Amino acid sequence: MEQGTLCPVARAQDIVGDRWTVLVLRELFLGTRRFEEIQAHTQATPQMLATRLKKLEADGMVERRPYNDKPLRHEYHLTDMGQAFYPVFLALRAWGEAWCKSEEEEVAIHYTHIPCGEDPGLGPSCQVCGAEMRREDLSARLSGSFVAERHARLHAFKSG
DSSP per-residue codes, 51-83: HHHHHHHHTTSEEEEEEETTTTEEEEEE-HHHH
pTM of the full structure? 0.88
**pLDDT tens, 98-144?**
999 998 999 999 999 999 999 999 988 999 999 999 999 999 999 99
Overall average pLDDT of the 59-86 stretch: 95
- Is the pLDDT at 72 greater than 60, yes or no? yes
Distance, in Å, from the CA atom of 96 to the CA atom of 92, rounded to the nearest integer, reads 6
Distance, in Å, from the CA atom of 142 to the CA atom of 144, rounded to the nearest integer, reads 6
- Is the pLDDT at 2 greater than 70, yes or no? no
Overall average pLDDT of the 63-83 stretch: 95
pLDDT-based confidence at residue 29 (cuts at 50, 70, 90): very high
